[in-house]
Chains A and B, each alone.
Chain A
Amino acid sequence: MNTPNGTHWIRKWSQVAARTQHGQGPRPPRRRDARLVIRLGALGLAAATAVTACGSSGSGSPSGASTKPAALTASATGTVQEWNWDIPGDDPGEHAVIPILIKMLEKEYPKLKVANTSMSLAEQNDKLPLAFANGSSAPDVSQTNEGLQNQGRLVTDKELLPLAPWDKVYHWFSKVGPLPLQYNSLPASGKTFGSGAVYGVPETGTVVGIFYNMALIKSVGGTTPTNWNAFTHDMALLAKAGKTAMAYAAGQPTAYQPVHMLYTIANHYVSAAMSNAFVFHRGAHPSIDIPGYVQAAATFQAWTKAGYFPKGYQGLSDTQALNLFDQGKAGFFLEGDWYSSSVQQALGSKAGFWVPPVVTGGPGEGWSIPAKAPDPNAGAAVINALLSPAVQDALLANGDIPVTAVSPSVLAKASPLLRSASTGWSGSVHSGNLVPYLDYATPDFLNQEMAGIQELQGGRISPSALMQSLQSDYTTYWSQQG
């Protein structure tokens, strides 16, 4: 049957309308000039080929900073550009110390101004490589994240200066100790880390431990979590009593708790030496696809199924999980010591902080001097001020673990939570039971494991499949490094 199409009716009714009124018919279709499209396409292709044929992109120009390392004189003038990761949400302690640092610097160098720029970790990863490439945009000093994603890339592109020459002036390395410096050491290629020249000096140490609400735990018949069995038993009791066992988030803005949770569970099953070998890519076959890690992933999945985490955790952010714990609505909160001031303030003596025997942590972000820094000596003066007793004590007072040795008298004044964290940090540094954040392992590791853990918790992949996938990406990355 031949049915009329849409335009048939329009024509018909247009004619009727035109007979009665001043009807306006449908507009005539415009013709497309196909030849013009073809010509433009050909022109674009020809130009593209010409540009491509002209050679490869990128200049690869090495830095040529030739400023002789020296202590900054008191009469120094100008403005020091200082960049950091000290946004209040991620690190309230370091954020609180910034004004103290600036005041101290401006007192020591009266004609010097300090311009502070704080940014998130994601912003750092995005901005630093491009900003450091140019003398007009590079700061004098900046925090850089340890590992291959940030420091590794910057060192590969020769965008950071080795700090040894300034150590001769200020003697930082002996104050900080070898382990925190190891995390900031890279060969000139920037393809591995853990050895080589030092490119960053941290101001703090960090450990990922387990905050607990003793009042809530006692209310369900639990005991102080001083070992793994007591901790897991308490969680089971809380869940059985219908309470939220663990304040936990895996949503947006990007919550880092999922990776910290996996690391901490893995530390129960895998030795620090094996995890270190994986992160630093040492030994014959560094691997995450081993029974201990698979067991850790299985435990993580089992906790999810057992309902230890708050309902709807997939849509919560780190801050929302912290609020849940601070409001006394969860028994545990597994995160870094940097939240201790918030927890202390909210829960007071009800709260405790347990640092497991093998613990994930490491120095806080390193402070680095860009190769194209306008005044590297001014940048070095900032680093030196950060390691001064005044700033280091202020860090402890504001809830962070100072990287330099803390005197017992100063430690005694710190909050109980922070004392536990600080003792855990120094103990693990000395015993060798400190495990680096696994996401240092490859530049894309964090993205991959975040997505992988979400799939694990959603029951979409098995524990062994997660580890196989992470190992496969890790092996591919290292095979490409030659």
Chain B
Amino acid sequence: MISQREPEGRLWRGPGRWVGPRRLAESRVAALARRRRHRDWVAGWLFLAPAVVFLAVLIVYPLIRAFGYSLDNWDGIGVAQFAGLHNYLEIFADPIERGSLVNLGILLIFYALIPTAVALVTVNMMRRSKIRGAGFFRVVFFLPQAIVTVVVAIVWTWLAAPSGPGTLNEILHLVGLGGRTGTPWLGSFSTALPAVGFIAAWLDFGLCFVLLIPGIQRIPAELYDAARVDGAGLLTEFFRITVPMLRRDIGAAITITAVAALQSFTLIYQATNGGPGYATMVPGLLVYRDAFQLGAVGSASALGITMSLLIFGLTFGIRALIERRAT
């Protein structure tokens, strides 16, 4: 219906419905706001589009395909046969796969908890002592992260060799601990898993350190001053201020390193290949063996999907824990 305008500026909206200048202005503002909201909505999605496309194509789609493969018996090339949930049941029935999950649980301590704890203590010490050249230490501690993991593994394989110049055993021998030929740290059943864990902790420490540094710098110095006035000591400051204030940063560090643990492959493949026996076998290595060496893409996918669910669960779990404690 065509609007009719009266001389005093009122707008005719139908028989007996005249809209005054105030309401007219309000309706125009509302329409404008609606249009702006729509524009914002479109712009928002346009900004998001690259990330959404990236995620959909490179993460969501492969994940969905992998789930499809996990229900099949397939060698990666030939014709697949539907296997239902057999591949998933096999994960818990097979002692090697079960054992790999246990190893993973132990490695989580080395990959996530130890480096985070050590980094936390280190950043706290650096805050208190106000060491000169903190930037230098930041670079040095972070350096292992910048080295290709294969190189890290090879170097540590040399360092952990039973004997030879420059090995850990040689150093231990020089200080009077053990003979010239010592423990094959990466080859012995009793030491292989902790040894791999130690390398992982060494690798992840720098990352945790760098993640916690900005957090501790954000804590107001006055907070510590107030606590000191109240008679708080070193430990009280650490547990009553540093840890609670860094709760979210600690959560982020643990999440990132725990996910790295769940995805661990390169270091273990290169350093021990899952051995001796299956002492350092982890699901990541089994996924690789199944998919590429044995042509069991279904089993590999089932294990991969299970690991993904574990990662989701762990991430949400850590986050929920942090959020709950923070409130």
A444→B277 CA distance, assembly (Å) = 14
Asked if A312 contacts B276 (CB within 8 A), the reply is no
| A window 294-337: CB within 8 A of B | 310-316, 320
Residues of A with C-beta under 8 A to B184: 251, 312-316
| A window 199-243: CB within 8 A of B | none
- Size category of the B interface is 35 or more
| B window 196-249: CB within 8 A of A | 218, 220, 222-223, 225-227, 229-230, 239-241, 243-245, 248
- Using CB atoms, name the residue of chain B closest to A41: B312
CB distance from A104 to the nearest CB of B (A): 34
Could you say which of A32, A447, A460 contacts B319, with CB atoms under 8 Å apart? A32
A56→B80 CA distance, assembly (Å) = 6
CB distance from A50 to the nearest CB of B (A): 8
Residues of A with C-beta under 8 A to B169: 312
Could you say which of A21, A125, A312 contacts B163, with CB atoms under 8 Å apart? A312
Asked if A44 contacts B60 (CB within 8 A), the reply is yes
Assess A29 versus B323: contact at CB under 8 Å? Given A58-B77, A443-B295. Answer: yes
Residues of B with C-beta under 8 A to A458: 188-189, 276-277
| A window 36-67: CB within 8 A of B | 37, 44, 47-48, 51-52, 56-60
Asked if B220 contacts A47 (CB within 8 A), the reply is no
Residues of A with C-beta under 8 A to B162: 311-316
A213→B63 CA distance, assembly (Å) = 57
A289 interface contact, C-beta 8 A: no
Residue-wise interface mask of B (87-104) relative to A, using a CB-CB cutoff of 8 A (1 in contact, 0 not): 000000000000000000
Asked if B241 contacts A157 (CB within 8 A), the reply is no
Residues of B with C-beta under 8 A to A312: 161-163, 169, 181-184, 187
CB distance from A329 to the nearest CB of B (A): 11
A23 interface contact, C-beta 8 A: yes
A250 interface contact, C-beta 8 A: yes
Residues of A with C-beta under 8 A to B326: 7, 26, 29
A60→B160 CA distance, assembly (Å) = 46
Residue-wise interface mask of B (142-175) relative to A, using a CB-CB cutoff of 8 A (1 in contact, 0 not): 0000000000000001001111000001000000
Assess A52 versus B67: contact at CB under 8 Å? Given A13-B230, A443-B295. Answer: yes
B177 interface contact, C-beta 8 A: no
- Using CB atoms, name the residue of chain A closest to B188: A314
Could you say which of A23, A57, A159, A311 contacts B220, with CB atoms under 8 Å apart? A23
Could you say which of A58, A59, A315 contacts B187, with CB atoms under 8 Å apart? A315
Residues of A with C-beta under 8 A to B289: 447
Asked if B230 contacts A460 (CB within 8 A), the reply is no
B292 interface contact, C-beta 8 A: yes
- Using CB atoms, name the residue of chain B closest to A20: B222
Residue-wise interface mask of B (288-321) relative to A, using a CB-CB cutoff of 8 A (1 in contact, 0 not): 0100111101000000000000000000100110
B270 interface contact, C-beta 8 A: yes
A153 interface contact, C-beta 8 A: yes
Which of B13-21, B34-42, B68-76, B132-140 contacts the other chain? B68-76
B45 interface contact, C-beta 8 A: no
Asked if B241 contacts A10 (CB within 8 A), the reply is yes
Which of A126-134, A374-382, A404-412 contacts the other chain? A126-134
Residues of B with C-beta under 8 A to A30: 323
Which of A135-143, A341-349, A449-457 contacts the other chain? A449-457
Residues of B with C-beta under 8 A to A447: 289, 293
Asked if B72 contacts A57 (CB within 8 A), the reply is yes
Residues of B with C-beta under 8 A to A310: 181
A6 interface contact, C-beta 8 A: yes
Assess A251 versus B223: contact at CB under 8 Å? Given A56-B80, A316-B162. Answer: no
A27 interface contact, C-beta 8 A: yes
A444→B239 CA distance, assembly (Å) = 51
- Size category of the A interface is 35 or more
Assess A314 versus B276: contact at CB under 8 Å? Given A6-B244, A447-B293. Answer: yes
Residues of B with C-beta under 8 A to A44: 60, 63-64
A75 interface contact, C-beta 8 A: no
Residue from the set B72, B230, B292, B320 with the largest chain A CB neighbour count within 10 Å: B292
A57→B67 CA distance, assembly (Å) = 11
| B window 49-73: CB within 8 A of A | 60, 63-65, 67-69, 71-72
A100 interface contact, C-beta 8 A: no
A44→B308 CA distance, assembly (Å) = 13
Could you say which of B74, B243, B245 contacts A57, with CB atoms under 8 Å apart? B74
Could you say which of B77, B80, B277 contacts A129, with CB atoms under 8 Å apart? B77
Asked if A21 contacts B220 (CB within 8 A), the reply is yes
Could you say which of B187, B223, B323 contacts A314, with CB atoms under 8 Å apart? B187
Asked if A157 contacts B67 (CB within 8 A), the reply is no
A390 interface contact, C-beta 8 A: no
CB distance from B96 to the nearest CB of A (A): 8
Residue-wise interface mask of A (1-23) relative to B, using a CB-CB cutoff of 8 A (1 in contact, 0 not): 00000110110011011001101
Residues of A with C-beta under 8 A to B248: 27
Residue from the set A13, A23, A26 with the largest chain B CB neighbour count within 10 Å: A13
- Using CB atoms, name the residue of chain A closest to B275: A454
- Using CB atoms, name the residue of chain A closest to B162: A312
Asked if B187 contacts A51 (CB within 8 A), the reply is no
Residues of A with C-beta under 8 A to B189: 458, 460
A24 interface contact, C-beta 8 A: yes
7 more contacts with CB within 8 A, not counting A9-B244, A17-B226, A320-B161, are A9-B240, A13-B226, A26-B326, A51-B65, A57-B72, A251-B184, A252-B157
Please, could you name 16 A-B residue pairs with CB atoms under 8 Å apart, sorted by A? A6-B239, A6-B240, A6-B325, A7-B326, A10-B241, A16-B230, A17-B220, A26-B244, A32-B319, A51-B65, A56-B79, A129-B75, A157-B78, A312-B182, A314-B184, A458-B277
Question: Could you list which residues of chain B lie within 8 angstroms of chain A, going by C-beta atoms?
Answer: 60, 63-65, 67-69, 71-72, 74-82, 157, 160-163, 169, 181-189, 218, 220, 222-223, 225-227, 229-230, 239-241, 243-245, 248, 270-278, 289, 292-295, 297, 316, 319-320, 323, 325-327
Question: Could you list which residues of chain A lie within 8 angstroms of chain B, going by C-beta atoms?
Answer: 6-7, 9-10, 13-14, 16-17, 20-21, 23-24, 26-27, 29-30, 32, 37, 44, 47-48, 51-52, 56-60, 122, 125-126, 129-130, 133, 149, 153, 156-157, 159, 250-254, 310-316, 320, 443-444, 447, 450-452, 454-455, 458, 460
Closest 6 CB pairs of A and B: A312-B162, A315-B184, A314-B187, A60-B79, A17-B222, A315-B187
